[in-house]
Amino acid sequence: YIKNNGRGHYCYYREELKHYFPNEALMEAHLHRAIELKEFMIYFQPQVNLETNKIDSFEALIRWENRKFGMVSPAQFIPIAESSGLIISIGEWVLERVCQYQKEWREYGFKPVRIAVNISPKQFKQKDFVKRISALLQQYKVEPKYLELEITESSMTNLHETTSILSRLKEIGVYVSVDDFGTGYSSLSYLKEYPIDIIKIDQSFITDIEKDRKNKAIVETIILLAQNLGLEVIAEGVEETAQEQFLRENNCQKVQGYLYNRPLPANQIVEQYFH
Ligand code: C2E
Ligand code: MG
Ligand code: MG
Ligand code: MG
């Protein structure tokens, strides 16, 4: 398969291909038991509002620690979960765990905060997805405005189906964001058709933003597009102050990245943000 080596060059990795498939089958076998073995955890990455310089939301990111494989990156196991269909139960586990944290934190008396959850295409298109969301919100008494669903352009393949799901989510009152904006194959017209609230600028556009004129142009334009459409905009993968400076100058509302925080386990979030 084709792999980006991180400097924008694409190469074919033949050796990797050989090792990848047997490993993938084994990983899938372990993934099947991961929920019952309690191998998953949720980490939270703070999102910083550049207007107030405060943290007013988090992104929930799944972590998997397995006996055989150790810590496995979601970039590795989410595609396997997606192709095997396991993503449905994993995704449900994430949503429920996030709602449990909201309940727990509320009962401790912490000020509620919006949490964004990544939703895979299969999960998004699950028949009773919207019903499950509203059932979870009710069960854990979470106000809809504290839940954000991150979908990607690859979830929006069928106009009729997507419109129906998104308008029902809008009715419930949860937020919807487009993750990895600009990296999929969708047409921009979906921004007109669908009730979307937030655009997340993919980190590939943020890299080298101070030097790369094309990335600069793309990011400036995405921010203006979001502003003109009345959407919230957040830049992902901010690692350097020069990147933050650029984003500030261009009125990007929110930022998320290692410059501020790596994703953190719940206990550290509680220590650092709620105390
Ligand atoms: P994503 O949703 O685009 O999440 C952003 C990824 O970038 C996260 O990787 C995060 O840890 C990482 N990141 C944040 N700030 C920086 C930075 O400054 N520099 C760099 N280099 N990276 C940064 P992570 O946690 O490994 O997740 C990778 C992807 O796996 C996510 O990309 C998302 O697509 C998927 N994923 C993670 N959790 C879930 C989940 O619960 N459900 C589903 N369906 N997918 C998930
Ligand atoms: Mg995301
Ligand atoms: Mg992203
Ligand atoms: Mg991504």
Q: Residue 176 in contact with residue 149, Cβ under 8 Å?
A: yes
pLDDT for 21 equals: 62
Closest residue to atom 42 of ligand 1, CA basis: 118
pLDDT for 14 equals: 47
The average confidence (pLDDT) of the chain is 92
pLDDT at 199 over 80: yes
Which of 68-96 are b and which e, b meaning 16 or more Cβ less than 10 Å from the residue's Cβ?
ebeebeeeebbebbbebebbbebbbebbe
Cα 60 to middle of ligand 3, angstroms: 12
Name the closest ligand to CA 206.
Answer: 1
Q: Residue 240 in contact with residue 247, Cβ under 8 Å?
A: no
**Least confidently predicted of 2-16, 67-81, 199-213:** 2-16
pLDDT for 11 equals: 44
Comparing 59 with 68, the larger pLDDT belongs to 59
pLDDT at 185 over 90: no
pLDDT for 20 equals: 54
pLDDT at 116 over 90: yes
pLDDT for 216 equals: 96
* DSSP labels, 160-229: HHHHHHHHHHHHHT-EEEEEEETSSS--TTHHHHS---EEEE-HHHHTTTTT-HHHHHHHHHHHHHHHHH
Tokens of 162: 């997507």
pLDDT at 196 over 50: yes
pLDDT for 13 equals: 46
Closest residue to atom 23 of ligand 1, CA basis: 237
- The DSSP 8-state label assigned to residue 144 in this structure reads G
What is the spatial distance between Cα 158 and Cα 88, in angstroms, rounded to a whole number? 19
Tell me the mean pLDDT in the region 244-256: 98
pLDDT (tens digit per residue) in 155-170: 998 889 999 999 999 9
**Considering the chain, what percentage of its residues have pLDDT values greater than 70?**
92
**Least confidently predicted of 9-13, 192-196, 201-205, 255-259:** 9-13
Contacts of 86 (CB under 8 A, 6+ apart): 28, 31, 32, 80
pLDDT at 8 over 50: no
Tokens of 196: 């979307």
- Which protein residues touch ligand 1 with a CB less than 6 Å away? 45, 61-62, 73-75, 78, 91, 94, 118, 120, 179-180, 203, 236-239, 256-258, 263
ipTM of this complex prediction, to 2 decimal places = 0.98
For residue 61, the ligand 1 atom closest to its alpha carbon is 38
pLDDT (tens digit per residue) in 11-56: 444 445 445 566 889 999 999 999 999 999 999 999 999 999 999 9
